[in-house]
Amino acid sequence: MGSYLLKRSATALLVLITLSVLVFSLVRWIPGDPVASFVDPNNPDPEQIAAIRHSLGLDRSWLAQYGSWISEAVRGDFGHSITQPYSVGEQIRSRLPVSVELGVLATLFGVLLGVPAGVASAVWRGRLPDLVFRIGSFAFLAIPAFVFGTFVLLVNSQTLRLRLIGYVPFSQDPLANLQRMVVPSLLLGLGLAALVCRYVRGTLLDTLGQDYIRTGRSKGASPARLVIRHALRNALIPVTTIVGVQLAALVGGTVVIENVFALPGMGNLLITAITTTDYPTIQASILVIGALYVAINLVVDLLYPLVDPRIRVVR
Amino acid sequence: MTDTRTPALEVRDLSISYGETTVVQNVGFRVAPGEIVGVIGESGSGKSTVAMAAMGLLPPAARNESGQISLAGMPMTGLSEKEMCRVRGARAAMVFQEPMSALNPCMTIEAQIAEVLTIHGLSGKAAARRRALELLRLVHMPDPELKRKQFPHQLSGGQRQRVMMAMAVAASPELLVADEPTTALDVTVQAQILDLILELRQDIGLGVLFISHDLGVIAQVCDRVLVMYRGQVMEEGTPDQVLHHPQHPYTAALLASIPRASQRPRTPLTVIGGTFRVGDRLSPGDPAGGGANGPAAGPEPASAEPDRPVLLEATQLVKSFKLGRRRTLRALDDVSLAIRQGETYGVVGESGSGKSTLAKVMMLLARPDTGTIQYRGSRVDPGGTRRDIEDYRRNVQMVFQDPNDSLDPRYTILRTVAEPLRAVGLGTEETRHRVERSLAAVGFDAEVLSRYPHEFSGGQKQRIAIARAMVTEPSFVVLDEPTSALDVSVQAQILNLLLEIQQRTNVTYMFISHNLAVVRHLSHRMAVMHHGAVVEEGVAEEVFRSPQHPYTQRLLASLPELERSAEAS
């Protein structure tokens, strides 16, 4: 178990280092010299250029530049944004919580709605609940969340007139925060729930056909006990993986939903940075989102042995 | 002891159908407390359907046409699912064939045993766990305090079947239904589990319905035997009556299709032909009758004459696998053997003995760590020249255990059988011609070429697999358990076919099997493998007559043998 943990953590670290090198090189491969914006293009003064290069640290080797960039990044200092009057670190610190809250809530909805729907679909296979959930999940997979989002906002503006747009930090007003977060995360969660429902239905049907379910029946276990005690845990093992990947994707930024509901999240930040070629922000966002992916998948991998005892021995 | 007359299980006039097909027809029998009743039959005989019906575990598609089943005097027919749940596990329990897949991989074995007691409200959680430990002791689980906290994958096959037994007897049921409980186990482990079943029925007066296709096993444990064929009971009686003095032609034919010590090796086995009806009687002097064996006359079998040239020689083969940081498994431990041209070289051993690794190394599918393989005097292991290795590869083929897995379901028969010829590089016409010839040799005509594997039965698929191996006219064929997945009557066909091909083409076989009777029937010489090493090697008949190594002696002693039960009776 110890070596499993160590091995997985080492792989995760390796992925992160590779990502950081890629992100670092990215900006240096793009044609153009950052010094160009500081000097008069018609009358370049070599000494002035050299001075600027020196002050920016560009005269050092790439390795030295990478070293100082990554050591500052690790401490949360990503330098200054080119287009915004804030440091990149400040921006990420203000936006990350929004995305994390959205992602976690959406995943929660996805699992809480998707698993029971999948179970019902499998248990009543080919009957009414199965039909309803399968058509429903198709709809939520096929129709993008922003369509539903816009629809909800339109209806709301004509009827209830709840405040659903904008963002209030949780620390400032928890109720107002939840009121604004619940609809976008539910909409995102429905898409995930549709996916989870289909997965759970498939894996559960597969599991219910296994020999040990027949053994359970021969012991006198009731149908409910067979599903809950024997089948569900085995069926959820493969579902863990997709939920983990989806959670990472959701936290990494959901551009459209953030835009529809005017939420200042990571997706929004990255898109703005890309349209204004704000390289320090782009670099930092990619690095942070990548780190989140790696961290969440690491957690999922470490959870695996807890769910599936067979993995504990097979390294 | 007032109601010892009440049978543990009574089945009367049972008929079950799937749609239009009747799979069980007018079956009736009783299992007394403490009695073991065996049901033998081949696939499709309905024996498992009867077992499932006794447990009320038939799939929804099955329809109960007629008949009654009563368990310890209590009628079970017409019970609701809820009422059946109270019966299953408490009054009737079941043990299945494959103990790995029959246990929940995510629950400790203790929890799985204790569950039987808590489901039926027989004890609280803590008491159930204590009882689970007692039950593990009852079934002679080694180191029960440690094992009870483990998961199924941490146990051996025999230990898993012990867990199944502990679960089955947990609630002290009147009836145990055992569906091929030892088929997936090695013979020495099989002997232990059979002993356990005998012990439990004695100690707790369990009535046992024992389903098996293995007549030797049935002869060893059962008090009474039913012979089933196409959903009907053909014959019923004591093992001695049924297996040694069969009255019904089907029973006689079934018995004759099994290779036995009294039959001369490498003579054709009797193949079951025609259809049988209830009430058929064996006429005296019937060639398949009276437990007599197939034609004993035949060509004098060519025994292992020493003057046959050596075709293939393996010297000091070692192959090990890393299991963890420190542990390695020596799958082949200094194995040396010589296979002579035109002979069948048998390799027997239990699971994990290294016989499949040997096959892979001989096929050059795995690289030995050290050691050499010589084919017609030239090295063909990775140390040999490219030309010799390629020449060897063209001359060697393999037939696998399960034809359902070894044939690509999306390949036509033509493409399947033609595949080995791609290495030879023939034109389309010549390829087709060779494929047709090879299929003809296994009894198929050209109209099968465009068909797909799923259109054939298991035995037919194995014949196609043999045609595929023989299409290149190889000089050496590795047969890895080629009949283990097949019924005995189909096994007889395949063994006859292999013998016939060998006599015609002088091909050399390496025949790998855990089935000692089959190896004895087919092999000129043989090797016994144990823990990666060859512990005994020699002329097959001599090894069986006077085994020298203690392991071989133990292996032969644990083999349930029809003959031995005849001697005892």
Instruction: For chain A, give the DSSP string.
Output: -HHHHHHHHHHHHHHHHHHHHHHHHHHHHSSS-GGGGTS-TTS--HHHHHHHHHHHTTTS-HHHHHHHHHHHHHTT---B-SSSSSBHHHHHHHHHHHHHHHHHHHHHHHHHHHHHHHHHHHHTTTSHHHHHHHHHHHHHHHS-HHHHHHHHHHHHHHTT----SS---TTT-HHHHHHHHHHHHHHHHHHHHHHHHHHHHHHHHHHHTSHHHHHHHHHT--HHHIIIIIIHHHHHHHHHHHHHHHHHHHHT--HHHHHHTT---HHHHHHHHHHTT-HHHHHHHHHHHHHHHHHHHHHHHHHHHHH-THHHH--
**b vs e for B484-500, b when ≥16 Cβ sit within 10 Å of the residue's Cβ?**
ebbbbbbbbbbbbbbbe
The model's confidence at residue B37, banded by pLDDT at 50, 70 and 90, is very high
Angstrom distance (rounded) from CA B358 to CA B351 = 13
pLDDT greater than 60 at residue A46: yes
Whether the Cβ atoms of residue A221 and residue B114 lie closer than 8 Å to each other? no
Angstrom distance (rounded) from CA B395 to CA B474 = 4
For chain B, which domains are there? 9-244 (3.40.50.300), 308-395+474-569 (3.40.50.300), 412-467 (no CATH)
Cβ–Cβ below 8 Å for A218 and B105: no
| Range picked from A82-86, A187-191, B29-33 for highest mean pLDDT | B29-33
Angstrom distance (rounded) from CA B562 to CA B257 = 13
Name the token pair of A87: 């440091």
Residue B273: the pLDDT is 77
Name the token pair of B494: 């395949």
Residue with structure tokens 């939903």? Answer: A257
Cβ–Cβ below 8 Å for A215 and B106: no
What count of CB pairs under 8 Å joins A to B? Answer: 75
The single-letter DSSP state of residue B530 is E
Q: Which residues contact B4 (CB under 8 A, 6 or more apart)?
A: B32, B33
pLDDT tens figures, B105-133: 999 999 999 999 999 999 999 999 999 99
B232-237 sheet: strands from edge to edge:
B92-95, B175-179, B207-212, B36-40, B224-229, B232-237
In CATH, the number for domain A95-313 is 1.10.3720.10
Angstrom distance (rounded) from CA B552 to CA B548 = 7
Domain ranges for chain A: 2-74, 95-313
Name the token pair of B432: 């087709």
Strand B370-375 to B310-322 pairing: antiparallel
Min distance A135 CA to chain B CA atoms (Å): 26
pLDDT greater than 90 at residue A143: no
Angstrom distance (rounded) from CA B174 to CA B36 = 12
Residues from chain B contacting residue A313 (CB–CB below 8 Å): 153-154
pLDDT, mean of residues B215-239: 93
| Helix (H/G/I), strand (E/B), else coil: B534 | strand
Angstrom distance (rounded) from CA B112 to CA B134 = 14
Name the token pair of B311: 């075709």
Min distance A310 CA to chain B CA atoms (Å): 7
Better-predicted residue by pLDDT, A135 or A274: A135
Residue A5: the pLDDT is 78
pLDDT, mean of residues B303-322: 83
Min distance B479 CA to chain A CA atoms (Å): 30
pLDDT greater than 50 at residue B292: no
The model's confidence at residue B305, banded by pLDDT at 50, 70 and 90, is low
ipTM over 0.85: no
Residue A60: the pLDDT is 83
Cα distances (Å, whole numbers) of residue A13 to A18, A20, A250, B263: 9, 11, 22, 68
- Which residue from A215, A221, A234 is facing B106, i.e. has the nearest CB? A234
Probe site for chain B from A3, A212, A237 (most B CB atoms < 10 A): A212
The model's confidence at residue A315, banded by pLDDT at 50, 70 and 90, is very low
Q: Which of A220-229, A299-308, B71-80, B425-434 has the lowest mean pLDDT?
A: A299-308
Strand B232-237 to B396-399 pairing: unpaired
Residues from chain A contacting residue B90 (CB–CB below 8 Å): 220
Residues from chain A contacting residue B87 (CB–CB below 8 Å): 220
Q: Centre a 10 Å sphere on the Cβ of residue A176 and count the other Cβ atoms it contains.
A: 15
Residues from chain B contacting residue A211 (CB–CB below 8 Å): 96, 98, 101-102
Residues from chain B contacting residue A239 (CB–CB below 8 Å): none
Considering chain B, what is the average pLDDT of its residues? 88
Dmax of chain A from CA atoms? 91
- CB interface of A with B, residues 188-227, below 8 Å: 210-212, 214-223, 225
Backbone angles phi, psi at A138, to 5 degrees: -60, -45
pLDDT greater than 90 at residue A32: no
Residue A253: the pLDDT is 66
pLDDT, mean of residues A98-116: 93
pLDDT greater than 70 at residue B332: yes
| Assessment of whether the complete model's pTM goes beyond 0.90 | no
Q: Which of B528, B532, B529, B530 is nearest to B333 (CA)?
A: B532
Whether the Cβ atoms of residue A53 and residue A59 lie closer than 8 Å to each other? yes
Min distance A137 CA to chain B CA atoms (Å): 28
Better-predicted residue by pLDDT, B76 or B475: B475
Residues from chain B contacting residue A309 (CB–CB below 8 Å): 105-106, 151, 153
Residue A304: the pLDDT is 82
Angstrom distance (rounded) from CA B337 to CA A214 = 45
- Which residue from B88, B104, B325 is facing A217, i.e. has the nearest CB? B88
